Amino acid sequence: MTETTVCYKEEYYEENIKEPSLLVHKVSIDPSSIKKITYEQKNNFFTKLGFLKPKREEIDCEAVSLFYEPFHIVKARYHIDFYKKDTYKLKVDERVSEVIIFGQKLKPESPKKMKKLLKRGSAEIKLPAEDRIIHEATVHIAQDRKGREVDLRKLPSAPASTEPEKVLAEYDDIVRKPEFSADKLIDSIRKRIVKKPSEAERIVEEVFEVSENTVIYTPVYEARYRYLKTGEIKIIPISGVIGKPFYP
């Protein structure tokens, strides 16, 4: 992890950001299997109004292409431990002229505007104090190559290549390039969760930490289907890892 100290008005907070890592999933589904996988469902791809389905023989699979789709996963945490000023109020008998708490002499108050609020025969002592508060916020997200947030649970888990850079170089023509910046994603998360409370008077600790920072390339087949009757085309993405329609 890299560590940087960042000025924050008159205070500072610490950043621990894990260096980006690269993961490339291995292909486990054969291209010839894609037509078989989608055959039973192909007429559903052109369903209209929920029930009008074309016949299977009216739908043709024109091509199956493999691509490597990038996703960026980041897990971040913001932690702040701080003190804020507070005042605690205690009711005392109106006959009490002085109260000693922890060696400090305090004078009860009973202003006119409080007489209606306080019970008859009572006064009030104000105790200045500092409250220590710990606040944490976490984010664990994934985004696709266009920078759109996707459902983490829908990303496949699969064996990874031991030489990811070599795989990407070898299949460069079918590797889709991310349109997002890793730094930009982390910066957007930072802006989302790094929010120092305005009530914070003294800061004990303030940390922004990125514990997961991974760019994953997962194989996705795109099956190109044409409805022969109308010429309509549908591109059906199929995971090259689990062999199911892939819509993260």
Q: How do 122-143 and 232-239 pair as beta strands?
A: unpaired
Only one residue has tokens 């070599």, namely 166
Under 8 Å between Cβ of 205 and 80: yes
pLDDT top residue among 160 and 13: 160
pLDDT digits (tens, 9 = 90+) for 181-197: 888 999 999 999 999 99
pLDDT digits (tens, 9 = 90+) for 50-73: 566 777 778 888 889 999 999 999
Where along the chain do its domains lie?
A: 2-82+133-239, 83-131
Enter the pTM of the model. Answer: 0.78
Element (H, E) at 165: helix 164-170
Q: Work out the pLDDT band at 4, boundaries 50, 70, 90.
A: very low
Compute how many other C-beta atoms are within 10 angstroms of the C-beta atom of residue 53. 16
CA distance 247 to 144: 11
Cβ density class 62-89: b for 16+ within 10 Å, e for less: eebebbbbbbbbbbbbbbbbbbeeeeee
Which pLDDT does position 19 carry in this prediction?
92
Least confident of 31-40, 83-92, 97-106, 110-119: 110-119
120 pLDDT higher than 90: no
Which pLDDT does position 122 carry in this prediction?
76
Q: Which two tokens stand for residue 153?
A: 């649970």
102 pLDDT higher than 90: no
Q: Work out the pLDDT band at 86, boundaries 50, 70, 90.
A: very high
Q: Work out the pLDDT band at 113, boundaries 50, 70, 90.
A: low
pLDDT digits (tens, 9 = 90+) for 8-26: 444 567 999 999 999 999 9
Which pLDDT does position 177 carry in this prediction?
93
pLDDT digits (tens, 9 = 90+) for 172-183: 999 999 998 888
Q: Work out the pLDDT band at 35, boundaries 50, 70, 90.
A: confident
pLDDT top residue among 145 and 103: 145
Q: Which two tokens stand for residue 39?
A: 């055959």
